[in-house]
A = this chain, B = another copy of it.
Amino acid sequence: MNHKNMNFRTDLALERRDLYRKANDIKEEIPGIKTEEEYKDSMTISRVKILNDEGANAIGKPIGNYITIDIKDLRLASEEEIQKAAEILSEELKKLYDVHLEEKQDILVVGLGNIGVTADALGPNVVRDIDITRHLLKYAPQYLEEDTRSVSAIAPGVLGTTGIETQEILKGIVDNVKPKLIIVIDSLASKSIERISSTIQIADTGIVPGAGVENTRKEISENSLGIPVIALGIPTVVELATLVSEGIDIFIERLQEKSKSNGFLNELQKEDKYEEVKEALKVGDYNMIVTPKEIDDLIENMSSVVARGINMSL
């Protein structure tokens, strides 16, 4: 198997690491990658560190830190649980500020996505709830505490509604507003439907918008913008072919348990069924990405978690 060309169908470093280990029968850690897990208030915090090119090539993600916070049952979350999740997010963000920022330097928050599409509205929703200070520092500093950090925010829309690459828009804003760090909120694709709007991935490597859904555009990163970019990614969709492909694996496992297995079945399971399934399922343009029926509530709760987490961290 060609390790470099795996099609992961997920933007989460954690899921990619697990897929890579499974596909390559690696029992220990992948060379060039280090992982830690922590449990806190019924949430799981995983820290995947890609240390060098070997690790980066294995799972197709740049060198850097990827922190994943898994929140259970966010759909039914109480006020209290939302608050707790926001606190954990805030702590993780502060650790990254310590690495990438001097005290009280300007931050720009960017909410990617299309406010008119429920499953894609998380970024713009978060921006709406961020506590902005930049204009007050300029026009009404007397209302702010002395050491308030300058925070600005923008929801630049998506290529399909603006006709402009997000990177082109951000470049102009960075040139004029001159922040020292960007926090980007983005909707991701994951492999598992239970992670939808229930998991946050924090990466200090920036992002390529839409990469997870086969829609590559220009990256948003220190490389392209000249300042550090922290990416907050939240899975909101799963590809249909991924779902079915997983389903077939599960199905075959069940058959094997019932000792119906034979050589053929084993072979079946080793193959990458994804491309096959994807081809077979192609029924038009809009069949490839699915989102659970409860997406409205999920997005609302996750927006609260992220907006509060960012506000607390500033």
A interface residues with partner B (beta carbon < 8 Å): 73, 75, 115-120, 127-128, 132-136, 150-157, 159-165, 168-169, 171-177, 192-194, 237, 240-241, 243-248, 250-251, 253-255, 260, 262, 264-265, 268, 273, 276-277, 279-281, 283-287, 289-298
Contact = CB atoms under 8 A, between A and B. Distances in A.
Given A133-B163, A247-B277, A250-B280, 20 more contacts: A73-B284, A75-B285, A117-B296, A118-B295, A118-B296, A132-B162, A135-B164, A153-B162, A154-B164, A169-B173, A172-B172, A172-B175, A175-B175, A194-B287, A250-B277, A254-B280, A264-B265, A286-B294, A286-B298, A290-B291
24 contacts: A75-B285, A75-B286, A115-B115, A128-B161, A132-B161, A133-B163, A135-B159, A153-B163, A154-B162, A164-B173, A164-B177, A168-B173, A172-B172, A172-B174, A175-B175, A241-B247, A244-B246, A247-B247, A247-B248, A247-B281, A251-B277, A251-B280, A264-B264, A286-B298
Given A164-B152, A290-B290, A248 B248 contact: yes
Contacts of A128: 116, 161
A175 B168 CA distance: 9
A212 B299 CA distance: 25
Nearest to A115: B115
Nearest to A273: B251
A177 to B, nearest CB: 6
How many copies of this chain are found per oligomer?
4
Given A118-B118, A276-B254, A293-B117, A169 B176 contact: yes
B116 A296 contact: yes
Chain A facing B: main interface SS = helix
Contacts of A161: 127-128, 132, 153
A297 B164 CA distance: 22
Nearest to A116: B128
A231 B251 CA distance: 37
Contacts of A164: 134-135, 152, 154, 173, 176-177
Residue among A173, A246, A248 having the largest count of chain B Cβ atoms under 10 Å: A173
B160 A132 contact: yes
A293 B177 contact: no
B291 A292 contact: yes
B193 A283 contact: yes
A173 B172 CA distance: 5
Contacts of A165: 135
Given A155-B157, A192-B283, A295-B291, A171 B176 contact: yes
